[in-house]
Amino acid sequence: MNKNNSDEKEVYQKLIRFGKSKATPDILIPKVVKYINYPSKKIKAKVLWMLGELGLKNPEKIEPYIIKIAHELKNEDAKIRQRAVGALGRIGRGNFGLIKPYISTILSKTKDPIPDVRMNCIWACENIATTYPDIFSTSMEIFARLLDDPGIRVRRESPEIFRVIGKKFPDFVAPYIPKLKTVSETDPDNVVRIHAAGAIKASTT
């Protein structure tokens, strides 16, 4: 094993230990952020994921690093884009105001060429919608297009945003009930059909 690989492994294990630590966010966050520019995609992806989890419960403490996280939405590496959009979703679930300037960029990832990035974008929006569903009142057509996505993981996740939003704002979902019903009856994947049916139930009961 060369030195770079050895160093990467050591840092990754260190981050795992940080994740299990009982340290306060004030102590833990600076330790994690220290590696955000580490020259390893694996390390950067891990850091972004950890910042998202830390930001869920302590969004204001992550605020100084949000601009850096958002910048990674343009990273050429798909895994980094996945982790960045996911992190913003978790932070936004805690405090939408902190990530509001980036909501358009987040939604643009629904058109990312990589299916897993599109799927993680939906998941991020679900996180935000859990506490701030009303901010997606004009975005439902974007999610509706993903019901026909060629990526199976995207199609499995896309009905879930309708379920989350439909619980509190069924009127937002109402125009898409016919489409969800079609998906629930005709999609070749059983998970997609179940999730679509669940979205209808959440929005109509």
Dihedral sign, CA of 188, 190, 195, 199? positive
Asked if residue 203 has pLDDT above 90, the reply is: yes
Q: What is the mean pLDDT of residues 97-107?
A: 97
Task: Kindly state the average pLDDT of the residues 151-173.
Answer: 97
Write down the pLDDT at residue 4: 55
Banded model confidence at residue 19, pLDDT cuts 50, 70, 90: confident
* Torsion, Cα of 106, 107, 112, 118 (10° steps): 90
118 vs 128: CA distance, rounded Å: 16
For tokens 């909501």, the residue is 103
Q: What is the mean pLDDT of residues 185-197?
A: 98
Q: What is the mean pLDDT of residues 13-32?
A: 92
pLDDT (0 to 100) of residue 23: 87
Give Dmax (Cα) for the chain.
Answer: 59
Is the pLDDT at 11 greater than 80? The verdict is: yes
- Structural domains in the chain, sorted by start: 13-131 (1.25.10.10), 136-205 (1.25.10.10)
Q: Rounded distance, CA 170 to CA 136, Å?
A: 12
pLDDT of residue 198: 98
Report which DSSP code applies to 157.
H
Q: Which residues contact 41 (CB under 8 A, 6 or more apart)?
A: 77, 79, 80
Q: What is the pLDDT of residue 6?
A: 67
What's the whole-number mean pLDDT along residues 52-75?
A: 96
Residue 102 is encoded by which pair of tokens? Answer: 């980036």
- Give residue-wise pLDDT tens across range 103-130: 999 999 999 999 999 999 999 999 999 9
Average model confidence (pLDDT) for the chain?
95
Residue 2 confidence (pLDDT): 44
